[in-house]
Structure 1
Amino acid sequence: METTRQGAAVNARGIGVKGPRGWAFRGVDLTAEPGALIAVRGPSGSGRTCLLLALTGRMRITEGHATVAGFPLPKRMGTVRGRTALAHVPGVADLEPALTVAEHLQEQALLGRRGAPFLWGSRRREATRAVVNAALAAAGLDPDTLPKGLRTCVRDLERLEALRLSVALAVMHQPYLLAVDDLDLKLSAEERATAWQLLRDVALAGTTVVAVASDAPADALVVTTGTTATTDTTPTPATGGTHDTHEEEAAHAFAETGRA
């Protein structure tokens, strides 16, 4: 398959998703090598979130052809879902404000143990600790910098800290492709640079990364959504980010197109 370490190649030609209110997006072309850093730009309501869901096998492509890690979409949506992960996608991959950082990490560690050989006692705790520590390191989330360490509730996290936690939870599943929504929403210019460096580090470690953002660094492959979306390598000036108001329609299309 088209993978290197944990990275997935992405190839799409003329893909689009049509929901109950019409086309969420269409005409998207994308060719990305394993371990690529991809930015999705476009006006609010242009289907950016839907594109993330489509490329991760969570929304059925209506037209066009695509492969992720060599698996065709929509035919192998289930396989693609199992090899991809979402971070901070409203309504699909949200953090629970009332839970602590530790509780989120423990929950994901347990989910990740499904299908793995069962370990008892100290061996299980050590295995879980190793997975959690690796995820925290990959996301650059240092518990010592949090108000109450791992006992800090999500509601008390800063925006960038919450993003790091969401990425940490996603990489615990060792995805071939990581999709992140609203990367630069409500972040300062310095925080945006830090967020992109976080994703750049994940990509450099081998995982293909695709993120929705209003701005893109010079080294990112840029895809623009809209009526006639095309690959674009010229980033726009930083604007601080805006939330995609197409989210409601994405949820409707998500429900209509199905998960398999």
Structure 2
Amino acid sequence: MESPHGAPRGIAVTAEDFGLEGPRGWAFRGVRIDAEPGALIAVEGPSGSGRTCLLLALTGRMRPTAGHAAVGRMRLPKQMSAVRRVSALGPVPGVTDLDPALTVREQIHERALLQRRFGGSLRSLMRPRSERRQSTERRVEDALAAAGLDLDALSKGPRTSVRDLERLEALRLSVALALIGEPRLLGVDDVDLKLSDAERAEAWDLLRSVAESGTTVVAVCSEAPEGAVVVSTVPAADGPDEEETAETAGAEHCGETEETEETKETKGAADAFAETGRA
């Protein structure tokens, strides 16, 4: 995927000693990243280790408290709003959930309307309505193709209810919705959650394809695939006690108890938003 001037749309992501601490401890800390534009960055770690918080911090949705990071030439946390303008979120539980009451067609139409109304520059809003509609339709078609989502192949076609989608289909839809805005940085949470081995391979093939087209991808997972830029949210430790303390601090920061992995990640993101301030 390239810009009109032929330059890669992807954007470099770097970080050094990057961390986020809240009233109840560290969500993550000591993170280092050095990824080129168009890279597939896999944020690897166990549930409760601050994976979602790191994803949200790198996309400008959560304010870090230690170290420094940059998305292209934009520094975090000073230029969070600028980073948000060039990034988009795919599935992030509790943040960008799909609406189960809508059909797939309605969900796409809703996002397309929002993109047409709020996603462009002031200059683009002054173009003729028909021209803006055609541009939006092109973006939707390109996004669906990039996400590998064939609407006609769904159980009821475009009229399929969002609540009836399989996990991999829902992932593809969420990615397509994010790509409508033509972001330079895409964030995806829980890539390998509740997927079979075959489905997990398909999910990584999808994100690898998006990255190869030029868009830099940051994806949260429990196990990174081959060829990805791997970032661990588990800090290096000199011994078992130190590692256990670090993981416990992250869990307490996100307010976690003994729940399912999906619920823990959702609560972690929600609590961290409340504690650090959602931008």
TM-score, normalised to structure 1's length? 0.89
Which residue does the alignment assign to 1:212?
220
1:107-126 equivalences in 2 (<5 Å): 107-113=110-116, 114=118, 115=121, 116-118=124-126, 122-126=130-134
Q: From the superposition, tell whether residues 244 and 177 of structure 1 become closer, same or farther in structure 2 (CA, over 3 Å).
A: farther
Q: Which residue of the partner structure matches residue 252 of structure 1?
A: 271
Which residue of structure 2 aligns with residue 98 of structure 1? 101
Q: Which moved more, 1:26-35 or 1:3-12?
A: 3-12
| Structure 2 residue aligned with 1:183 | 191
Q: Distance in 1 between matches of 2:151 and 2:178?
A: 17
Which residue pairs with 1:196 in the alignment? 204
CA contact (8 A) 2:191 2:221 kept: yes
Tell whether the 8 Å contact from 2:45 to 2:223 is kept in structure 1 after alignment. Answer: no
Counterpart CA distance in 2 for 1:95 and 1:20 is: 31
Query: Paired residue for 1:144?
Result: 152
> Max radius of gyration: which structure?
2
- Residues 76-127 of structure 1: CA distance to partner in whole angstroms, max 9, x if unpaired? 0010011111111011111011111111111111121224335656545433
State the 1:18 CA deviation.
1.2
Q: Give the aligned partner of residue 90 of structure 2.
A: 87
Aligned counterpart, 2:78: 75
Q: Structure 2 counterpart of 1:74, which letter?
A: P
Alignment partners' CA distance in 2, 1:52 and 1:190: 25
Q: Kindly tell me the number of residue pairs found equivalent between the two proteins.
A: 247
Give, in whole Å, the separation in 2 of the partners of 1:52 and 1:38: 10
In the other structure, the counterpart of 2:179 is: 171
Match of 1:58 among 52, 58, 61: 61
Choose from 23, 32, 42 the match for 2:35.
Answer: 32
Pairwise CA distance, 1:246: 4.4
Write the letter of the residue equivalent to 2:194.
K
In structure 1, the residue matched to 2:252 is none
**CA, structure 1 residues 98+204, in 2 after alignment: closer, same or farther (shift >3 Å)?**
same
Quote the Cα distance in structure 2 between the aligned partners of 1:7 and 1:121: 29
Give the secondary structure class of the aligned counterpart of 2:142: helix
Which structure shows the bigger proportion of residues in helix conformation? 2
Counterpart of 2:162 in structure 1: which amino acid?
Answer: V
Q: In structure 2, the residue corresponding to 1:18 is in which secondary structure?
A: strand
Equivalent-residue separation in structure 2 for 1:172 and 1:93 (angstroms): 14
Asked whether the 8 Å contact 1:109–1:132 carries over to 2, the reply is: yes
Question: What's 1:156 paired with?
Answer: 164
User: Is this contact kept in 2: 1:77–1:259, CA < 8 A?
Assistant: no
**8 Å CA contact retained: 2:93, 2:265:** no
Pairwise CA distance, 1:128: 2.9
Distance 2:58 2:21 in 1: 14
Assess if the C-alpha contact under 8 Å between 1:16 and 1:26 holds in 2.
yes
Could you list the runs of 5+ residues in structure 2 that have no partner in the other structure?
Answer: 1-5, 238-259
- CA apart distance, 1:227: 3.4
Q: Which amino acid aligns with 2:233?
A: T
> Residues 59 and 187 of structure 2 are in contact (CA less than 8 Å); yes or no, is this contact kept in structure 1?
yes
Q: Which residue identity does 1:57 align to in structure 2?
A: G
2:26 corresponds to 1:7 = no
Once superposed, what is the RMSD of the aligned Cα atoms? 2.0
TM superposition shift of 1:20: 3.0
| Alpha-carbon distance, 1:248 to partner | 1.8
Q: Which residue of 2 aligns with 1:238?
A: none
> What percentage of residue pairs aligned between the two structures are identical?
63
- C-alpha separation in 1, matches of 2:39 and 2:135: 29
CA offset at residue 216 of structure 1? 2.0
State the Cα distance separating 1:220 from its structure 2 match: 0.6
Asked whether the 8 Å contact 1:48–1:244 carries over to 2, the reply is no
Q: Is the 8 A contact 1:19 1:249 kept in 2?
A: no
